[in-house]
Amino acid sequence: MGKLKLAVLISGRGSNLQALIDACAAPDYPAEIALVISNVAGVEGIERATNAGLPVLVIDHKKYPSRAEFDLEMTQAIEAAGVELICLAGFMRLLSEEFIDHWHNRMINIHPSLLPAFKGLDVQARAIAAGARFSGCTVHYVRFDMDTGPIITQAAVPIHTGDDADTLAARILVQEHIIYPQAVRWIAEGRVMIENQQAIVDGADAPTAAVINPLP
């Protein structure tokens, strides 16, 4: 069986793209990146992809009269590359319902909060302002409503006294780079099943210990 072919969609620095590039470099990793698409020219993520020898397309959304036409251009490029799974990695465009439906259960995203809490933007600052004791990150299948869809995996990150949005985001990013490649591996291995809008990972157990913050 061949490796699962990925398209990674980016808009910026591409740090999660880099995590996937690094994972795919391992001979036993069951996925490979067939295409990287950026909707913004000149971003660091393009340089990361080029340095890794990956096919890169810049599809500027500003050149299309509608979201649907922009999304259709992406779909045509993604299908031409033989892609089986789309990974959104800091892709800062809302996708059309037609695009999301076309790639139903074949598109995942990573979001820097413990969904369903703190959807959208500025999530670390909002978590701190709310007095939350934990934040984190979530890998989930994409649905039309923003930051929804079956959750594959999450990493919880404690919020420290004195944290600001930047320090918290930096600690969360470390965990993003761990759980995104892991989620892709599980999908490539055929271990993720969706039942009643929940993602079930075959053979993966929940931790038994609770984490308390602040410590007693």
- Whether 111 is a known active-site residue: answer yes
In angstroms, the CA 213 to CA 124 distance is 17
In angstroms, the CA 142 to CA 137 distance is 15
CB 77 within 8 A of CB 37: yes
Marked catalytic residue, from 61, 102, 104, 111 = 111
Q: Which of 98, 191, 96 is nearest to 153 (CA)?
A: 191
Q: Which of 174, 99, 108, 167 is nearest to 142 (CA)?
A: 108
Instruction: Specify the residue for token string 């033989």.
Output: 82
Point out the residues that are catalytic.
Answer: 111
